[in-house]
Amino acid sequence: MDITFKDLIRLWGKPFSQKEINHDLPIGRISTDSRTIEKGDFFVPLVGNTFDGHDYLNNAIDIGIQAAIVSKQFKGLIPADFTYWLVPDTLYAYQQIALLHRRNLNLPVVAVTGSVGKTTTRELIRSVLSPLGEIVSSIGNENNDVGVPSTLLRGSERDAAFVLEMGMRGIGQIERLSRVAEPDIAVITNVGQAHIGILGSRENIAKAKSEITSNLRPDGVVIIPFGENLLEKALSGKWSGRIVRVAIEGFSLDWLGRNDEYFAFTDIEPDYISRIDMQNNLIFFQGNKFKLPLEGRHNAMNFLMALTVATELGVSIKNLDPLNINMPKGRNRLVDCGQFLVLDETYNSSPESVIASLELLVSKPGRHFAVLGTMLELGSESISLHQKVLQRAVELGLTGIVFVSCGDEYNIIKKTIKELPNHDVVRTPRDAAISLLTWLSPGDNILIKGSRKLELEQVLAYLNQ
């Protein structure tokens, strides 16, 4: 860590301590987790809904940390010879340290958000930027107020760039994350229905996603799909810099029949237009031909955005093919269960992502089954969106669906899927597996997808027995 005590004095003034400190001394490894803290670390005790890191401050001092930041609300005792700063909010102070580190390194920062496909696009970008050197990327759920600064603080002078995923739980969160990261490139994958129960409308979702440009560097660029009307409107009020629009020939953004929300631009053209050959799993971009690293039209769009990022950062893309992408469990993962091929999408679910996954499922030869679960945080539109998604499943001609319901959509779902040869609505992953296993034959294809709360990965475990 290149941050010194002098740097923190510039942020918060002189620390509390009765001993002299060397202002040029590095502050050491920054730790927010008392369970892994080591001698010489700099401790940041965070406060959550069910925990308070200050409870472990004295234990950390006993271990031998050299300094810490402490909330002004902390009422405990601190040794007189210990070095610490009093701050209004330790989380905000943690983010200040991360921003300082980001500025000191001055590496390119790519930030990714969107309703669907954030993690996939993040991983694709990380892979296509690998010719630059080591890429520091978000891991797991490092996409929030704690995770983004944590990712930044993992960077060093040996690295070439950052790729940060930015999640959103409400208005203002992405703006805070943008302030921490000061991105050079912002990627917004799409504006869908995820979290509409929290934000109330797709217009508000678009506004929340456009916050990623709040602290985008003035010479930076935001990359979006061509034709995202709501996103264009939201960005027009926040960002006056470059916008790069990407498109795939014949690829529609109209996931759920909302034709009125998209329009043909009269004075704007896409900056990058690609062509895909789904039969041979190919994408054509800037005179180059690539094997799609992940299957599906939606992943072709994600890959196009990644290629656009690489082009904007001056990466030579001619020798990128082939790429190997290691997706996290529960996201865009094809699992060979011996007799069955399973598309593991158990991490989360939204209307757009379910439809994209169903369309990928039916592209496989053989019979097609799906275990789907309740999509959460859809608010007053929950019933109608579940119905639209399942109507699409019926249109695609699935052989069977088991739906794991944890909400009020039980009856409408049963009515919608009754036209399929095999159908059931259950309450638990175990019951879903029991129904599914009575239908399956060797060679069948299965999609498993639902909100995280449902833990549908348990179905995959039954299939592997």
CATH of the domain at 429: 3.90.190.20
Q: Which residues pair with 276 in a beta bridge?
A: 283
* Confidence band of 250 (pLDDT split at 50, 70, 90): confident
The verdict on residue 415 lying in a domain is yes
Determine which of 169-178, 192-201, 254-263, 439-448 has the lowest per-residue pLDDT on average: 254-263
Domain count, the chain: 3
- Domain co-membership, 367 together with 411: yes
Asked whether residue 306 is assigned to any structural domain, the reply reads yes
Does residue 30 lie in a domain region?
A: yes
Same domain, 175 and 47: no
Q: Which of 90, 96, 65, 70 is nearest to 16 (CA)?
A: 70
Tell me, what's the pLDDT at 31?
Answer: 95
Q: Which residue has the tokens 């027995």?
A: 465
Phi, psi angles (nearest 5°) of residue 430: -65, -45
Q: Is residue 344 part of a domain?
A: yes
Give the pLDDT band of residue 464 (cuts 50, 70, 90): confident
Asked if residue 351 and residue 268 are part of one domain, the reply reads no
pLDDT at 252: 67
Q: State whether 219 and 348 are in the same domain.
A: no
- Confidence at 256, pLDDT banded by 50, 70, 90: low
186 and 287 share one domain: yes
* Interval 13-54: pLDDT, tens: 999 988 888 899 999 999 999 899 999 999 999 998 888 999
Residue percentage of the chain with pLDDT more than 70? 96
Residue where a domain stops, chosen among 312, 346, 373:
312
Cβ contacts of 425 within 8 Å, gap of 6 or more: 402, 403, 405, 410, 413, 414, 417
Domain-located, residue 323: no
The answer on 371 and 223 residing in a single domain is no
Question: From residue 212, how far is each of 26, 59, 189, 195, 301 by CA, in Å?
Answer: 31, 38, 12, 17, 20
- At residue 266, does pLDDT exceed 80? no
Sign, Cα dihedral of 433, 438, 442, 448: negative
Report the CATH number that the domain containing residue 128 is assigned in CATH: 3.40.1190.10
Which pLDDT does position 267 carry in this prediction? 64
What residue numbers bound the domain in which 194 lies?
A: 107-312
Query: Mean pLDDT across the stretch 298-302?
Result: 93
Claim to verify: residue 247 and residue 349 sit in the same structural domain: no
* Res. 260: pLDDT tops 80: no
Assess whether 118 and 231 both reside in one domain: yes
Residue 429: is its pLDDT beyond 50? Answer: yes
Residue 327 lies in a domain: no
pLDDT tens per residue across span 165-215: 999 888 999 999 999 999 999 999 998 887 788 888 889 999 999 999 999
Quick one: pLDDT at residue 2? 83
End-of-domain residue from the set 59, 88, 117: 88
Question: Does residue 262 register a pLDDT over 70?
Answer: no
pLDDT on residue 202: 87
Q: Is the pLDDT of residue 263 over 70?
A: no
Q: Is residue 95 part of a domain?
A: no
Q: Is residue 94, in this structure, part of any structural domain at all?
A: no
Rg (CA), the chain: 24
What's the CATH code of the domain at 15? 3.40.1390.10
Asked if pLDDT for residue 264 goes beyond 50, the answer is no
Are residue 70 and residue 192 in the same domain, yes or no? no
pLDDT band at 237 (very low <50, low <70, confident <90, very high): confident
**Is there a single domain that holds both residue 287 and residue 197?**
yes
> What band does 96 get if pLDDT is binned at 50, 70 and 90?
very high
Backbone angles phi, psi at 239, to 5 degrees: -135, 125
Question: Distance between CA 168 and CA 205 in Å, rounded?
Answer: 9
- Round to the nearest angstrom and report the end-to-end CA distance of the chain: 47
Sorting pLDDT into bands at 50, 70 and 90, what band is 159? very high
- For 127-135, what is the mean pLDDT? 95
Q: Is 67 helix (H, G, I), strand (E, B) or coil?
A: strand
Q: Residue 341: which pLDDT band, with cuts at 50, 70 and 90?
A: very high
Residues 295 and 174 both lie in one domain:
yes
Mean of pLDDT over the chain = 91
| Domain termination residue (choose one: 277, 312, 347) | 312
Q: Is 287 exposed, middle or buried (0-12, 13-18, 19+ CB in 10 A)?
A: exposed
pLDDT at 133 over 90: yes
| Whether pLDDT at 4 is above 70 | yes
- Choose between 194 and 391: higher pLDDT: 391
What is the pLDDT at residue 259? 45
- Residue 228, pLDDT score: 87
Same domain, 251 and 306: yes
